[in-house]
Amino acid sequence: MAIILIGNDFASQVYVNNKINACDTVGIKSLKYDLSENVTLTELLSLINTLNKDNSVDGILIQLPIPKHLNKELVINSVNYKKDVDGLCSRNLGALLSGNPNIRPCTSSGVMHILDNLNTDFLGKHVVVIGASNLVGKPMAIELINRFATVTICNKETINLNLISSTADIVIVAIGQPRFIKRNYIKDSAIVIDIGINRDDEDNICGDVDFDDVIDRVSYITPVPGGVGKLTVAMLMKNTVLCFQNNIYNVV
């Protein structure tokens, strides 16, 4: 797996190191490319094109976020879909939307893995997804729709958000607001999946959900850190193996 890191963002460096360590653990060779924050779009696309053509590289990961002067959608879609270990290019997202996914976005597939291991029956369940990004919220909603859940997608502009989320059997949160979700957003015995990772005013890592405030209301809740993040990395390893198989068997 080739990992492209642009700039010196501390959090991104930590995430990349975690992914490299995971590769080492499971026996996947990782190649790290450190690029300047001022790298041009032409230079970046040239590197991606070289990696696309390199038969020894099975997967390509571009650590997000990337600098604003780069066209994120263009960069993501410049990766060969067979090597798109993040599952975020238009072709892979389109396959997920059609209900016939190959490489699935890591975070949403990690959440589904958690819910499946709780033996969740999605039929008739109301799931509220708070956050509508292309990276997490939208793929998450599609995964759930494909499993015949009833899905409501909310965002920061949603009116009476707590009234909507408090009707949900499952609440999935990815909004980047530390401890935003309180107990009045959650109904009794709901399952809460916290995808957010933030630092509070005291520089402590926390999620989008106020864990201590809701813990006595929920049936299950994922912690931050140590919850969805670990599954995201695990799904990245799985996707790298799938990309390897795609390349070996020349999957169309």
pLDDT at 168: 98
Q: What number is the average pLDDT over the span 94-100? A: 94
pLDDT at 156: 79
What is the 3-state secondary structure of 73-138? HHHHHHCCHHHECCCCCHHHHHHHHCCCCCCCCHHHHHHHHHHHHCCCCCCCCEEEEECCCCCCHH
pLDDT at 6: 97
At 50, the amino acid letter reads T
pLDDT at 250 over 80: no
d(CA 168, CA 187): 7
Q: In the annotation, is 125 catalytic?
A: no
Q: Which of 58, 82, 84, 86 is catalytic?
A: 86
d(CA 62, CA 211): 31
pLDDT at 94: 96
Q: What number is the average pLDDT over the span 205-224? A: 96
> How much is the pTM?
0.93
Q: What is the pLDDT of residues 111-132, one digit of tens each?
A: 999 999 999 999 999 999 999 9
Contacts of 102 (CB under 8 A, 6+ apart): 92, 95, 242, 246, 251
Q: In the annotation, is 13 catalytic?
A: no
Q: In the annotation, is 86 catalytic?
A: yes
pLDDT band at 251 (very low <50, low <70, confident <90, very high): low
Q: What number is the average pLDDT over the span 194-222? A: 94
Q: Cβ(51)–Cβ(83) under 8 Å?
A: yes
> What are the chain's domains?
1-80 (3.40.50.10860), 106-229 (3.40.50.720)
pLDDT at 74 over 90: yes
pLDDT band at 203 (very low <50, low <70, confident <90, very high): confident
Q: What is the pLDDT of residues 46-60, one digit of tens each?
A: 999 999 999 999 999
